[in-house]
Chain A
Amino acid sequence: MFDNPKIRINELSVGYDDGTQALSDVCLDIPENAITALFGPAGGGKSTLLRTLNRLNDLLDVSISGEVMLDDTNIFDRNVDVISLRRRVGIVFAQPIPLPFSIRKNITYGLELAGERRRAKLDDAVEGSLRSSALWDEVKDRLDDSANALSGGQQQRLCIARVLALAPEVLLLDEPTSGLDPISTAKVESSLQILKQDYTVVIAPSSIQQTARIADLAVFMLQGELVEWGSGEDLFSAPREKQTEEYITGRFG
């Protein structure tokens, strides 16, 4: 079913400097143009795995072994340009954190960093990415207002939009709908369905239900290990492992 992996993770282990082994020997192929959902109980290493995929963990003191192949390059290679890696692999966090700028500037920020100054290009990116994240209609008349004036749900869609503006290849989303009301959640989920046509999406959903709703490939993670993975339908209708079954039927975690 998935024969075009965008990212191949090979025996990846990640440990924090306090001795926590957050990931142990993780192997996983992440398919292109699909939603890969990492789910499992708290502390399973979902966020750690996402942050490793664009090397945001470099900011912390972590020890990493194994390899992550993005297309044909190992992202841990010495000569990999981390800056351009982070543009190709964008990340959205659980907490929406707008930068202390206007709505427009939040979106153009990443492009301006990359040296884009043409007004028309920037305006196109603002409109395009806000449409993709289903926020355009709500903010199109107040693009120059502070991003802090938006509601939590709008802020989260803004955070998705500003990553989309960079035209990444891979979109990492860490519980992007935690703290959102059901309507905003539905908006984000439906925009993901559209986004996956152009992007590789890796998400740590906010709930098991959400995993079941959106996952093309569902991956069950427990204490830093991948227990089981499979297409969303298969895994939820017929889990192979006992731990998976216990977790999705609510008898565990």
Chain B
Amino acid sequence: MIRLSRHHTERIVFAVIGLASVATAVPIIIIVSSIFFSGAEAVSWQFLLEMPRDGMRSGGIWPAIIGTIYLVVGTGLISIPLGVASAIYLSEYAADSYWTRMIRLAIVNLAGIPSVVYGLFGLGLFVLFLDLGSSIVAACLTLSIMTIPVIISTAEEALRAVPQSFRVVSVGMGATRWQTIRRVVLPQALPGILTGVILGLNRAAGETAPILFTGAAFFLPKLPNSIFDQTMALPYHLFVISTQVPEMPITIQYGTATVLLAFVLIMNILAASVRSWQRRKREW
């Protein structure tokens, strides 16, 4: 066995770590660039804003785009208030008891459940038992159940990162607990909470399985009129045109994939810039 000087060990370790990060980045770059490269020619304003024609073999993907926006907005309306409120409760009010430990355990485990299980659960609870049918509401509720644990755990972490001394000072100046949360703790935790919200909604935008049985439509000739209608959605549409439609032009498949990726990428960039804004703004 050769003995290496500390200097050499250091260089080898850095080289290995560097290789590892390149190895992770390369496949992502290849996938993203090959899809964007092949999809770019398909993407145009018509493609984005027109209804599909000829059994989806030509025309655009407007109903899938608008459907995904509906689903993300609806999921946000349900999961953001619930998730943030739960995080505030867990971090600021709940004592460390058997019950809060159980709740935390449940949240951690929920985050690891495969998304198809959420889909089946949504089918059972919202579509059938609550009789909402396969609809935008049912899909949003199902996606919310998947998103809420992500929001709760990131938001709770962000709240806990705010120094305890700020709370003591604020209460010492005659603030109530809620005033302290509203005026000191939440503003400091906001960027962290936003990051969690965006990451959670991002997942909701990209998943197919949870909406498959709860609200996604194979093809609809017109846009949904109410939250009780079904809707098309980008990830499911991509699945459909890639596997279920014979003689599908490959450019449309690539174009759809490009739009979905761009959607998710934009949300990710948003999350990243919120994070760096948070670091610059932080006062402790």
A binds B: yes
A: which residues have CB within 8 A of B? 54, 56, 59, 83-84, 86-87, 90-91, 93, 95, 97, 99-101, 109-110, 113-114, 146, 148, 162-163, 166
Contact status of A93 and B169, CB under 8 A, knowing A99-B184, A100-B284: yes
Chain B window 162-194, contacts with chain A (Cβ cutoff 8 Å), 1 for yes, 0 for no: 010110111111111001000110011000000
Closest A-B pairs by Cβ, 3 of them: A100-B283, A110-B173, A87-B174
Contact status of A109 and B183, CB under 8 A, knowing A87-B174, A166-B173: yes
CB neighbors of A among B253-284 (8 A): 282-284
In the complex, the answer to whether A100 meets B175 with C-beta atoms within 8 Å is no
B: which residues have CB within 8 A of A? 163, 165-166, 168-176, 179, 183-184, 187-188, 282-284
In the complex, the answer to whether A97 meets B169 with C-beta atoms within 8 Å is yes
Shortest Cβ distance from residue B57 to the other chain A in the assembled complex, whole angstroms: 57
| Apart from the given pairs A97-B169, A110-B174, 18 other A-B contacts in the complex at a CB distance below 8 Å | A54-B172, A56-B168, A59-B168, A59-B171, A86-B173, A87-B174, A93-B168, A97-B163, A97-B168, A99-B170, A100-B188, A100-B283, A110-B173, A110-B175, A113-B179, A163-B173, A166-B173, A166-B174
Choose from B172, B179, B184, B284 the contact partner of A56 (Cβ within 8 Å): B172
Please indicate the chain A residues that have their CB under 8 angstroms from the CB of B184 in the complex.
Answer: 99-100
Shortest Cβ distance from residue B175 to the other chain A in the assembled complex, whole angstroms: 5
Docked pose: A84 CA to B282 CA in angstroms: 31
Please indicate the chain B residues that have their CB under 8 angstroms from the CB of A56 in the complex.
Answer: 168, 171-172
Please indicate the chain A residues that have their CB under 8 angstroms from the CB of B179 in the complex.
Answer: 113
In the complex, the answer to whether A148 meets B283 with C-beta atoms within 8 Å is yes
Shortest Cβ distance from residue A197 to the other chain B in the assembled complex, whole angstroms: 23
Total cross-chain contacts (CB, 8 A): 59
Q: Which DSSP category, helix, strand, loop or mixed, fits chain B's interface?
A: helix
Residue of A nearest to B171 (CB): A59
What are 16 A-B interface contacts by the 8 Å CB criterion? A56-B168, A83-B176, A86-B173, A87-B174, A90-B172, A93-B169, A97-B166, A97-B168, A99-B169, A99-B184, A100-B166, A100-B282, A101-B283, A148-B283, A166-B173, A166-B174
Please indicate the chain A residues that have their CB under 8 angstroms from the CB of B188 in the complex.
Answer: 100
Docked pose: A91 CA to B179 CA in angstroms: 18
In the complex, the answer to whether A113 meets B171 with C-beta atoms within 8 Å is no
Shortest Cβ distance from residue B147 to the other chain A in the assembled complex, whole angstroms: 29
Residue of A nearest to B187 (CB): A100
Shortest Cβ distance from residue B114 to the other chain A in the assembled complex, whole angstroms: 41
Docked pose: A93 CA to B171 CA in angstroms: 13
Docked pose: A87 CA to B176 CA in angstroms: 12
In the complex, the answer to whether B174 meets A84 with C-beta atoms within 8 Å is yes
In the complex, the answer to whether B166 meets A99 with C-beta atoms within 8 Å is yes
Give the residue among B175, B187, B282 with the most A Cβ atoms within 10 A: B175
Residue of A nearest to B284 (CB): A100
Contact status of A114 and B174, CB under 8 A, knowing A100-B188, A109-B183, A146-B283: yes
Please indicate the chain B residues that have their CB under 8 angstroms from the CB of A166 in the complex.
Answer: 173-174
Docked pose: A122 CA to B188 CA in angstroms: 24
Docked pose: A59 CA to B175 CA in angstroms: 13
Residue of A nearest to B283 (CB): A100
In the complex, the answer to whether A113 meets B169 with C-beta atoms within 8 Å is no
In the complex, the answer to whether A162 meets B173 with C-beta atoms within 8 Å is yes
Docked pose: A99 CA to B184 CA in angstroms: 8
Please indicate the chain A residues that have their CB under 8 angstroms from the CB of B175 in the complex.
Answer: 83, 110, 113
Shortest Cβ distance from residue B174 to the other chain A in the assembled complex, whole angstroms: 4
Shortest Cβ distance from residue A155 to the other chain B in the assembled complex, whole angstroms: 12
Docked pose: A59 CA to B93 CA in angstroms: 12
Please indicate the chain B residues that have their CB under 8 angstroms from the CB of A162 in the complex.
Answer: 173
Choose from B165, B183, B187 the contact partner of A97 (Cβ within 8 Å): B165
Contact status of A91 and B283, CB under 8 A, knowing A99-B166, A100-B188, A113-B179: no
Docked pose: A163 CA to B170 CA in angstroms: 11
Docked pose: A83 CA to B188 CA in angstroms: 23
Shortest Cβ distance from residue A48 to the other chain B in the assembled complex, whole angstroms: 14
Shortest Cβ distance from residue B180 to the other chain A in the assembled complex, whole angstroms: 9
Docked pose: A159 CA to B283 CA in angstroms: 16
Please indicate the chain B residues that have their CB under 8 angstroms from the CB of A90 in the complex.
Answer: 172-173
Shortest Cβ distance from residue A153 to the other chain B in the assembled complex, whole angstroms: 18
Give the residue among B165, B172, B284 with the most A Cβ atoms within 10 A: B172
Please indicate the chain A residues that have their CB under 8 angstroms from the CB of B170 in the complex.
Answer: 99, 109
Docked pose: A59 CA to B166 CA in angstroms: 13
Give the residue among A54, A95, A99 with the most B Cβ atoms within 10 A: A99
Please indicate the chain B residues that have their CB under 8 angstroms from the CB of A95 in the complex.
Answer: 165
Docked pose: A114 CA to B283 CA in angstroms: 25
Please indicate the chain A residues that have their CB under 8 angstroms from the CB of B168 in the complex.
Answer: 56, 59, 93, 97
Please indicate the chain A residues that have their CB under 8 angstroms from the CB of B174 in the complex.
Answer: 83-84, 86-87, 110, 113-114, 166
